[in-house]
Structure 1
Amino acid sequence: MKIFRLRSVKLVLIGFIIVNLVFFYYTWNSFLWRRISRALTGEATDTKPKSEAAHGPKISPKDKARNANKHIRKSITIVFYGHYNFEQDLRPSIESILDVVPNMPILVLQEGAAEYAYPPVSFERNLTSGEEQTVHFMSLAFDVRRTREQLNPLAAVHTKYALLMPDSVRLSSKNLLQKILREMNTKSGKAPAQRVTVAPDEQVRRLLLIPFAGNSKTYSSCAKLNLDLPNWTMELEARNDTTHCDLFLQKHAILIDVATLGAMPEPFGLPFPEMLYVQAKIANLTTSVFPQSFLEGRKLFASFHTKQRRLELRRRQFREMYKKLQIKRLVRRTHRLGGKAAAREGNWQPHSPVLDAQFSYSNFSLPAVTDIDLFGCERTTKSCIGTVYNSRPFYYYLGKHTPPCCLDKLKTTFNHVLEEFENVGIRYWLDNYALKSAIETNQLSPDAYDIDISFNVQDLERSNAMKKSQSKPHVDNEGFYWIKATDGHYFRVQFSKVNQVGVNLLPYEISGNEVRASGFFGWKATTFASDYLHPMSTVLFLGKSIMCPNNVLEYLEGKNIKVKSDNVAPEEE
């Protein structure tokens, strides 16, 4: 019995071994045949692990850095502009960038004037293996020997974006460049928090502002910009909201689409970047401030001499910008210590035309201050109005109103004449289009370029200024220029001899029941009934009660002047 069991176990064991040998034989034969068939057909053997097949080959950190640098170089060109050669930090700034991103395309734009371009700046770098010369200097000065394409600085930019960089920067890593590039390449989707990738050929119509870490927290960085070109006005209001920053006042860089930059009429106009922001505002470009900052380089303009030299150049740049943009009034709404909320409209004092980093305190609990500066139309300068033909100044054809500086001087001259007449007792009345404007709005018309005041010629001798001006022009104690017109027996009071903004004094003679023009001609010299002057009425004009004829609507209609509204009726005295 024991022998039978032993034989049974041996048979089972032998059978199990035979089955395994057969299974191994067929398995090996199948794999061998598959390999032979692949070798005969030339099919490559897949030796990659499943993880690599799913996620791609494993990339080394060195290759990752190389790919990141390549992506940055293909997307961004760093453009240095707005520096001053008499004190600059360009070489260390460029070195710090190339140390982080080798072969980074860098363009240094240089103004052509001697005060900017001298002494000349150059850059040389000891190139290592794999490095190329990617730093280029370009002068913006006009050169008749160069073609239009060669004079265009954007022709030297071959990437989608340009990073407009100020002088004195230190780049410690490429992370910030990658982040701003990622931010620029995405846009808001339909959902509130959704971000959509921008198509490669899509033009990005916005500016991404990257501040510097050394910016002061005491002062506000952002300002809202409003341009009222028909009224020659620019308004700036300090803001703490970085999502609506029309003008960034402290040190920063700007990332912008090169196509958007090229669409501007003068992308590298001075002062920079203020002129760029004005053009961006007109083009309805959006701006946003990036939450991270660049590192500051060496502090520039620390000495009094270089600081004053730069400030003088900036003043000149801003004056030229206001002249080019035809800005005559600058309104600044800020928050400052010891400020008053009221605007200095009448007795305004000139401020620096430069918009600097200390524009406004960031503490908006401080009093709000409104400063108004007027440019042009001074006593020593000619009037901005110029010669008028057919009652239409040149700016009428530009779609603009009378410059605010001229309106201000016209009001000043009118108040001076009014004070003179009332002091000596001359019987006068507001006349013609100034009277029409007083009835309609109680203010001077935005298109007015003079004011007519009619007076009783019998009272002429009461005014020493008019009496002296009959024989020769007379300058009174306050600098106003009294002159008798050469084309008729009427008088004119100008703001000064050079500045011809002024008030016309029209003499009338009362003869019985009629009032006739005394020695002057034209459409203003109309004859009307003396009943309009007995009794006299008053109308509110420029904050004062001014004498005017009674039944004024009928009076003006007799001069073919139609009043748009009769909401404001003059009061009889």
Structure 2
Amino acid sequence: MRITFCQGVLAIAITLNLLILYYILRLQQRVLRRHRDHTQPGSRQQLAPLKPGMTILIREFEDFENYVPDVVRSFIRQNPEVPVVVAADHLPYPPMVLPSTPNVKVLILKPAPDQPASASRPEVYVRTEYVALVPDGVKADATFQLERMLEELKAGQGKVEMVAAPVHSLAPLQCLNLKVSLRRWTAEYTAAPPSSKVCTALRGEAVLLLHTKDLFNLSMPLAKPLLTSLFIQTSLREWAVRILDISFSAVHRPLFTSSHNQWKADNLAKASHLQLFQDFGIKRVILEDGKEQWFGCSKETPRCFGTIHDDTPEYLYQNRWTPPCCLRALRETAKYVINVLETSGVRYWLEGGTLLGAARHQDIIPWDYDVDLGIYLEDIPNCELLRNADSGSVVDERGFVWEKAIEGDFYRVQFSEHNHLHVDLWPFYPKNGLMTKDTWMDHRQDVEFPEHFLKPLVPIPFAGFLALAPNDYRSFLELKFGEGVIENPEYPNPALKRMEKEH
């Protein structure tokens, strides 16, 4: 079949038109993609370098009653060009009527399935070198306030990483020192001297100014409660904050106009504190007045860690020690069990790692997960709770659970039916001058020993009270663990996890 000249020209023309149409479509897609990337806050483009100036960031407020629009307007009146970002976990409802200017933006921190991950990243919205964290209800009275804060921060470079201006309220701003030990799951506040203006934490309301790059290098920069969260993270980095002699006034005080709204806000604050300490792994907070707050396990909850494998609890792999709530429960259980044994006429002694803790710390070893006591097998009939445990679990009047262990011929007393922190009772009996037992575990210290170590038993400080221990407990421990064990602490299974120095 021959193709005529006209047919050839027509085929070429159709092919050219298809190619032109293809390239036009590709070009349109590229333009649309570029337009979306430049107009959508959560774009994929590389973030531009930070520019001079500061952004006002409002993070903490309640949907049901707030003064955020008034706060925003007060700062814009002083400087119409200042960028303002209102950050919320979800779209505020009822809706807030904010000034409709390009430099006022609302940031929703909760990721949405139809948005890219960067859409909920605050660093996409804050593009200035500095950021001022402003609480709800604050009023900007004059332009010099933020300018003065910026001057002070620049002047204090190398000495402080943050500056704070108090907000006039019922409670004055308090300068505190905060020490956080993640290894011990603990945050401890102490009061700074009354004249001190530089510290590591604050209590009260303040406008806080810091470098934007510093804020967003924190692992959880906008976690609530905001100042509590920030100072826990910054104290771990040894940052300091200076309180300035300037202050901001309040749009409205009290912040909530009804007792019901105040009640709602207080409950939400408690919940956010609980969530924050759970996220950070803080289970004990010591306040500056010496009072303690506990956020870990109790009799009504499971213990803070799961089943132990190879003598190495999971928290050791996180470079942490036993949670303080668990140590407290173990102390309480040990004291109670020892009191029952003494009252019942059951001879006992601190065993294994528990005795090692008493010799080294006068307490439970800071990374231990149970308490071990040796008892005389022949004394078991003297204790009603132990006798009854042979027939099944017994929950006593204090809520402790006495039972025969399923792993072997010994007894276990649990903190509660829910919380299985426990004291193990190992029945020993004399045989040819040695103390032996019927159940042996694959532990280095699980060996027979001469009975003369128990004649007599001697008192030793342990966990806040006096408990009985083998005489010459150093020789007893070195028989079980090896020479120098008291002076050379190590984790239970060094082959899996060796001890690291605490920072």
Aligned counterpart for 2:363 among listed residues 420, 443, 453: 443
**Partners of 1:211 and 1:475 in 2: how far apart?**
54
Aligned residues: 434
**Partners of 2:325 and 2:351 in 1: how far apart?**
23
SS in 2 for 1:185: helix
Q: What are the within-5 Å matches in structure 2 for residues 167-566 of structure 1? A: 167-187=136-156, 206-217=161-172, 221-239=174-192, 240-299=194-253, 300-334=255-289, 370-519=290-439, 521-523=441-443, 526-565=447-486
The answer on whether the counterparts of 1:517 and 1:526 sit within 8 Å (CA) in structure 2 is: no
Q: Name the aligned partner's letter for residue 557 of structure 1.
A: E
Equivalent residue number for residue 35 of structure 1: none
The answer on whether the counterparts of 1:532 and 1:551 sit within 8 Å (CA) in structure 2 is: yes
The structural deviation recorded for 1:122 is: 3.0
Q: What are the within-5 Å matches in structure 2 for residues 83-232 of structure 1? A: 83-112=61-90, 117-124=92-99, 133-187=102-156, 206-217=161-172, 221-232=174-185
The answer on whether the counterparts of 1:169 and 1:295 sit within 8 Å (CA) in structure 2 is: yes
SS in 1 for 2:226: coil
The structural deviation recorded for 1:246 is: 1.9
Q: Name the aligned partner's letter for residue 94 of structure 2.
A: P
The structural deviation recorded for 1:241 is: 4.2
The structural deviation recorded for 1:205 is: 6.6
SS in 2 for 1:160: strand
**Partners of 1:314 and 1:459 in 2: how far apart?**
53
The answer on whether the counterparts of 1:517 and 1:525 sit within 8 Å (CA) in structure 2 is: no
Deviations 1:448-478 (A, max 9, x none): 2111111111111111111111010001111
| Shift in alpha-carbon separation, 1:442–1:482, aligned structure 2, 3 A | same
| Shift in alpha-carbon separation, 1:167–1:308, aligned structure 2, 3 A | same
The answer on whether the counterparts of 1:205 and 1:260 sit within 8 Å (CA) in structure 2 is: no
| Shift in alpha-carbon separation, 1:451–1:185, aligned structure 2, 3 A | closer
| Shift in alpha-carbon separation, 1:74–1:525, aligned structure 2, 3 A | closer
Equivalent residue number for residue 76 of structure 1: 54
The answer on whether the counterparts of 2:350 and 2:468 sit within 8 Å (CA) in structure 1 is: yes
| Shift in alpha-carbon separation, 1:171–1:557, aligned structure 2, 3 A | closer
Q: Name the aligned partner's letter for residue 149 of structure 2.
A: I
Q: Name the aligned partner's letter for residue 236 of structure 1.
A: Y
Equivalent residue number for residue 58 of structure 1: none
The answer on whether the counterparts of 1:431 and 1:453 sit within 8 Å (CA) in structure 2 is: yes
**Partners of 2:195 and 2:116 in 1: how far apart?**
44
The structural deviation recorded for 1:394 is: 0.7
**Partners of 2:346 and 2:302 in 1: how far apart?**
30
The answer on whether the counterparts of 1:75 and 1:159 sit within 8 Å (CA) in structure 2 is: yes
**Partners of 2:103 and 2:457 in 1: how far apart?**
81
The structural deviation recorded for 1:381 is: 0.9
Deviations 1:335-394 (A, max 9, x none): xxxxxxxxxxxxxxxxxxxxxxxxxxxxxxxxxxx1123322211111113211111111
**Partners of 2:441 and 2:241 in 1: how far apart?**
58
The structural deviation recorded for 1:93 is: 2.1
| Shift in alpha-carbon separation, 1:98–1:439, aligned structure 2, 3 A | closer
How high is the TM-score relative to the length of structure 1?
0.71
Q: Name the aligned partner's letter for residue 227 of structure 1.
A: V
Gap regions ≥5 residues in structure 1? 1-72, 126-131, 190-203, 335-369, 567-573
**Partners of 1:433 and 1:167 in 2: how far apart?**
52
| Shift in alpha-carbon separation, 1:515–1:176, aligned structure 2, 3 A | closer
Alpha carbon RMSD of aligned pairs, Å? Answer: 2.3
Q: Name the aligned partner's letter for residue 510 of structure 1.
A: P
Q: Name the aligned partner's letter for residue 123 of structure 1.
A: L
* Higher gyration radius (CA): 1
| Shift in alpha-carbon separation, 1:302–1:519, aligned structure 2, 3 A | same
Q: Name the aligned partner's letter for residue 262 of structure 1.
A: F
The answer on whether the counterparts of 2:160 and 2:242 sit within 8 Å (CA) in structure 1 is: no
**Partners of 2:308 and 2:406 in 1: how far apart?**
16
**Partners of 2:468 and 2:156 in 1: how far apart?**
62
**Partners of 2:52 and 2:456 in 1: how far apart?**
83
Deviations 1:216-238 (A, max 9, x none): 34xx5222111011111100122
Equivalent residue number for residue 20 of structure 2: none
Deviations 1:492-548 (A, max 9, x none): 001012211111100112235232203555446533333333333333323444322
SS in 2 for 1:558: helix
The structural deviation recorded for 1:133 is: 3.4
SS in 2 for 1:537: strand
Q: Name the aligned partner's letter for residue 309 of structure 1.
A: K
Q: Name the aligned partner's letter for residue 226 of structure 2.
A: F
**Deviation larger for 449-458 or 151-160:** 151-160
The structural deviation recorded for 1:311 is: 0.8
The answer on whether the counterparts of 1:489 and 1:520 sit within 8 Å (CA) in structure 2 is: no
The answer on whether the counterparts of 1:205 and 1:257 sit within 8 Å (CA) in structure 2 is: no
The answer on whether the counterparts of 2:200 and 2:238 sit within 8 Å (CA) in structure 1 is: no
Task: Indicate the percent of aligned positions where both proteins have the same amino acid.
Answer: 25
| Shift in alpha-carbon separation, 1:323–1:561, aligned structure 2, 3 A | farther
Deviations 1:261-316 (A, max 9, x none): 12111211111122122222223322111211112102211321111101111111
**Partners of 1:502 and 1:232 in 2: how far apart?**
21
The structural deviation recorded for 1:244 is: 2.2
Deviations 1:49-100 (A, max 9, x none): xxxxxxxxxxxxxxxxxxxxxxxx9512211111112111122222222223
Q: Name the aligned partner's letter for residue 331 of structure 1.
A: I
Equivalent residue number for residue 501 of structure 2: none
Q: Name the aligned partner's letter for residue 88 of structure 1.
A: N
**Partners of 2:457 and 2:181 in 1: how far apart?**
39
**Partners of 2:292 and 2:76 in 1: how far apart?**
46
Q: Name the aligned partner's letter for residue 293 of structure 2.
A: D
**Partners of 1:124 and 1:90 in 2: how far apart?**
11
The structural deviation recorded for 1:563 is: 4.7
Equivalent residue number for residue 42 of structure 2: none
**Deviation larger for 241-250 or 283-292:** 241-250
| Shift in alpha-carbon separation, 1:110–1:519, aligned structure 2, 3 A | closer
Q: Name the aligned partner's letter for residue 81 of structure 2.
A: N
| Shift in alpha-carbon separation, 1:519–1:312, aligned structure 2, 3 A | same
Gap regions ≥5 residues in structure 2? 1-50, 488-503
